[in-house]
Amino acid sequence: MAEISWISRGPLEHVLVVGAYGARDVAPGISLTEVRNFDLIQVMARRGKGAELANAAKARFGVAAPDAPKAVSASDVTLIWSGPDQFLVLSKGGKHAIDILSQAFSQSASLSDQSHARALISVTGAKARAMLAKLSSLDLHPASFPIGAAAATSIDHTGVNLWRGNDRPDGQPVFNLLVFASFAVSLWHTMLDAAAEYGVDIGFLEELA
C-alpha cells in the first residue's frame, strides 16, 4: 500500500512570500499576516429558533452571539455576525469543530463547515485604512467602524467577512478578512497592489493566535 499523508496546504501557500514588499524608502505602512489553520463554522438559526440559538450559544461560548454586525470574542473563540440570525464561529483547531458544534446546536441551528472555504488575512499598520479604502466601499473611520465592528461585504465583487480586532500594542488598528479560498490568490495580489506604495511587511501564522 502506498504511503498516504495529508499535508494541509492553504490557498496562499504558493504565493505568500515572507518579508518586505513594495516601497522600500518608507517605514512599512502595512502589515499583512495570513493565518493558515483554524476552525470556522457557519451557524444559521432554524426558523423560529433565533432565541433558542442565542441561549445555546451563550451556554456554549460564554458570550452572546452577535445579533448585529459585530464580532465578539471569548477566551477561545470569536463569533462573527454574518447575516440575519447567523454567525461564524472562528476558533483554534479542534475545540469548536463542526461535529462538536452540531451536537450543541442540533435543536436550533443548521451548521456548515467553512474551515477550508476561507483564507484569513489580517491587515494592520498606519496605512491600513488608506489601503483598505482602495478595496472596500465601507467607511472604516474609527467612529464608524470601531473595535468589534464586523461586516459581510464585498471586495473585488467577491464576498468577504471583515471585522476589526483589538488594536495592536502600538495603537494601530487591526482589520481581519475572511476571503473565499478559491479567490484568495487573486485577492492577495490585489491587496499587495493596493498596499505596495505604503511599504508592506508580509508574514503568516500556522495557527490562530
CB 82 within 8 A of CB 45: no
Identify residues 167-186 at the interface with other proteins (CB under 8 A): 180-183, 185-186
Is residue 11 a contact point for other proteins (CB under 8 A)? Answer: yes
Based on CB atoms, which residue is closest to other proteins, 47 or 75? Answer: 47
Is residue 80 a contact point for other proteins (CB under 8 A)? Answer: no
Helix axes 128-135, 184-195, angle to 10 degrees: 130
Question: Residue ranges of the alpha helices (H) in the chain?
Answer: 50-61, 98-104, 128-135, 184-195
In order of 15, 66, 177, the CA distances from 199 in angstroms are: 18, 35, 20
Site pattern 81..100 for other proteins (x: CB under 8 A): -xxxxx--------------
Residue with cell 511599504: 199
CB of 144 to other proteins, least distance (A): 7
51: which 3 cell numbers?
432565541
Length of the chain: 209
CB of 169 to other proteins, least distance (A): 22
Angle at 65 between CA 105 and CA 163, to 5 degrees: 125
Based on CB atoms, which residue is closest to other proteins, 75 or 185? Answer: 185
The only residue of 76, 139, 167, 207 in contact with other proteins, by rule CB under 8 A: 139
Q: Which residues bind other proteins (CB under 8 A)?
A: 1-11, 14, 22-23, 42, 44-50, 53, 68-69, 82-86, 110-118, 130, 133-134, 136-139, 141, 144, 151-154, 156-159, 180-183, 185-187, 189-190, 193-194, 196-197
